[in-house]
Amino acid sequence: MTGISRRHLLQLIGTAAGSTAMYHAMTAMGHAQGSTYSGPIQLDGDPQGAKVLVLGAGLAGLTAALELRAAGYEVEVLEFREKAGGRCWTLRSGDTYTELGGDTQTVDFAEGNYLNPGPWRIPHHHHAVLDYCRRLGVQLEPFMQKNYNSYLHRSDAFGGKPQRLKEIATDHRGHTSELLAKAVDQGKLDDMISADDKEALLESLKTVGVLNDNYGYVESLDTSYYRGYEKGPGGGMTAQAIPSTPIDLSTILDSKLWTWLATHETLNHQMTMFQPVGGMDAIAEGFAREVGDLITYNAKVTSLQQDDSGVTVTWEDTANGGQRTSTADWCVCTIPFSVLGQIEHNLSGELSSVIDTMFYNGSVKWGLEFNRRFWEEDEHIYGGISYTDLPITQISYPSNGYLSPGPAVLLGGYTWRGANSFEFNAMSPAERIEVALEYGARIHPQYRDEFKTGVTVSWHKVPWTLGCSGIWQNKERDYEQAVAIDRRVVCAGEHLSDLPAWQEGAILSSLDAISRLHDKVLNG
């Protein structure tokens, strides 16, 4: 597109033809699905040297710092940690991590191996994250969400033996297609479907379900072409494939392995997904290259006060000791409410009540390093995720370094809220790792022989967030007053978005907050 920016064109279309035309134009440009991000923010107009204090150097704070400085503001960033990124975080060889309670883990992974304790995969429609990766030169690679050769596992199904996703998925689809096709063919659904649709439906079920001419889902080379063979096709004298036997419907249903068949299909988990090469914190480092000079690290905010003339923040210098004060005209506060609620502030009663009632989610992750890629070498699993009803809930195989020799790290578990997260949180790291090994060995017996080292992060024990993501008591009621500018302070972060716990939510929240703040600075 030349001579006119896409954003400007969309504005013209929107103005001239109303929102429906705008929507269709956006769809045509591929931007209307998923995230609402529609290209780099434009903060036009001169803020005349106004200063903004940004609290927190996670993705929301980093976004605010980058864009506000570009718009002509003086920007100062205070960050509790010793580096940028917040929950956009990677643990790799040589790192040490001390959780609340004092347990310190030193990561002993081989060079290049890592764990992303927080965000670890980026949906293809999280346009803002992807655009910042593009602008910041962050190299991405595919994250393998769905692998048909990964496992589905329940302790009480198939004698505890893990099953391949491709078999369960193909058989479930085949059997349900057969049932529906036969019911339609026998006229049992005639009051629900027209004659024309009936014919088309039967044809679609045959195609999608891999049914034979009698609408049967049966053992054949056709169905094995999807679910896998007893003996695969080869060459020469032994070329002939031998079909496999589908698992019967009753067994499939009874196994409950269908629980996970739609897991990969949500908008936020559909392939293509991405991960930054070398670890998620490549995004944080990309931002830090741009705005690192604005950030004061090791700054623990203890007070946030505002009045008619400005904002005053008191903070403790945890590296060198002593109490400091920073002042500004405005403040973008990205401190998680789990922490902000414990900081002295004079925010409005409405905002305070939201801050004080937002509890935080627990989540636990493990990075387990093994001496060799047994999941690839022995089981032909290249990336992807196996799901289980065990408390670890899943095992995710690395989406990089395929076929390479030497140690590799897999995600040994990932819990999300619930009783298990609480119980893992109450364990020491050594206990947590031991339990993850014990459970993981039920799916991969090689675990015990090949285990090298591990690291685990429980988000309730992460000192700078005290939790993983914010949970609203009553979002519908409280949302507007929580995102509103409170005199000179506006809050931003994943907790103030409709994409909670996603990096996209943090960035969109920040962009929206600084747009409104900028408008207020210019126009009052």
Partner 1 sequence: MRQMKQSLTTAAAILLALPALAQDDSGRAETMAADRQPTDLFADDTITGEEGHEVYGAVCAGCHMPDGQGAVGAGNYPALAGNPNLEFASYPIYIIVNGQGNMPPLGPVMSDEQVVAVTEYIQTSFGNDYEPDATIEAVQTARPADPDATTGEH
Binding site for partner 1 (CB under 8 A): 80, 100-103, 119, 155-156, 160, 266, 268, 300-301, 335, 337-339, 341-343, 356-363, 389, 391, 393, 414, 416-420, 422-423, 425-428, 430-431, 434-435, 438-439, 442, 458, 460-467, 469, 471, 501-502
Identify the sign of the CA torsion 349, 336, 142, 224. Answer: negative
Please state the closest distance from residue 160 (CB atom) to partner 1, in A: 7
Please report the DSSP string for 356-394 in residue order. Answer: HH-EE--EEEEEEEESS-HHHHTT---SEEEEESSTT-E
Nearest-approach distance from CB 368 to partner 1, in angstroms: 16
Q: What are phi and psi of 28, to 5 degrees?
A: -60, -35
Q: In this complex, which beta carbon is closest to partner 1, that of residue 18 or of residue 160?
A: 160
Least distance from partner 1 to the Cβ atom of residue 293, Å: 23
Question: Minimum distance between the CB of residue 429 and partner 1, rounded to whole angstroms?
Answer: 8
Closer Cβ to partner 1, 216 or 341, answer by number:
341
244/469 with CB nearer partner 1: 469
Radius of gyration of the chain (CA): 27
Can you tell me the distance from the alpha carbon of 138 to that of 136, in angstroms, rounded to the nearest whole number? 6
Q: Which residues contact 292 (CB under 8 A, 6 or more apart)?
A: 84
**Tokens standing for residue 371:** 């001496």
Q: How far is the CB of 433 from partner 1 (least distance, A)?
A: 10
Min CB(22)–partner 1 separation in Å: 30
Residue 36 in tokens: 């609402």
Tell me how far, at minimum, the Cβ of 382 lies from partner 1, in Å.
22
Alpha-carbon separation of residue 153 from 147, 157, 162, 405, 510 (angstroms): 14, 7, 5, 27, 40
Describe the strand order of the beta sheet including 122-123 as a list of residue ranges: 122-123, 273-276, 140-143
Question: In this complex, which beta carbon is closest to partner 1, that of residue 47 or of residue 123?
Answer: 123
**DSSP tag of 486:** B
Q: Compare residues 10 and 152 and give the one whose CB is closer to partner 1.
A: 152
Task: Select 372 or 442, whichever has its Cβ closest to partner 1.
Answer: 442
Give the 3-state secondary structure of residue 248: coil
Nearer to partner 1, 10 or 482 (CB): 482
